[in-house]
Amino acid sequence: MTQDTTWLNRQRVFFEEGQSLWLFGYGSLIWKAEFAYHERRPARIEGWARRFWQGSHDHRGTPKSPGRVATLVESPGTTCQGMAYRIDADTLGPLDIREKNGYLRERVVLHFHDGSHAEGLIYLATEGNAAFLGDAPLLEMARQIAKAHGPSGSNRDYLLNLAAALEDLGAVDEHVFTLARQVHELQGDG
């Protein structure tokens, strides 16, 4: 099941025309930034946990065999590490299309390694969207990820690229790392 949120996001304007803003990437945006940006900095957000609970029917799976991609769930006391990009507001148009399968723009405070912080945007897929798959046993999620493939490539590659990018950042994310280990084991390469 898909839900095109492009139009909804175009109504969620949290910035002034011509303004540059920070965008926080916590999934593929960490390692696959295919958009123009002025600056790229490691950052974190607080009170959120990354989870493979969003279905991907348009990029890493198909409507008949959806993949699983990252979203955020509220988690008091938790920190989610990722990458922040300072972008021009008009860059959001193509990103709205990229993130159209259930993700909505939301405001969040980003914390940088130098102790500074700034307001920024995330794309968030909540349980209210049609593509939301929710929690499941990790082994079941790993099996789904190992076999799913869509127009943007294999779901396995999405997961493993994310795990490698997080390791490069020095981030700790047991949800992602456990899924990556299980996918390797399922495919006999771990």
Interval 138-161: pLDDT, tens: 999 999 999 999 999 999 999 999
In the predicted structure, residue 11 carries a pLDDT above the cut 80: no
pTM for this model (two decimals) = 0.88
* Residue 16 annotated among the catalytic residues of the structure: no
- Of 177, 130, 159, the C-alpha closest to 67 is 159
Read off φ and ψ for residue 72, nearest 5 degrees.
-115, 145
DSSP string for residues in 33-72: --S--SEEEEEEEEEEEEEEEEEESSSSS-SSS-EEEEEE
Catalytic residue selected from 99, 119, 127, 174: 99
Q: Residue 103: which H helix or E strand, with range?
A: none
Domains and their CATH numbers in the chain: 6-186 (3.10.490.10)
Percent of the chain whose pLDDT exceeds 70: 90
pLDDT at 1 (0 to 100): 46
pLDDT digits (tens, 9 = 90+) for 49-58: 999 999 998 8
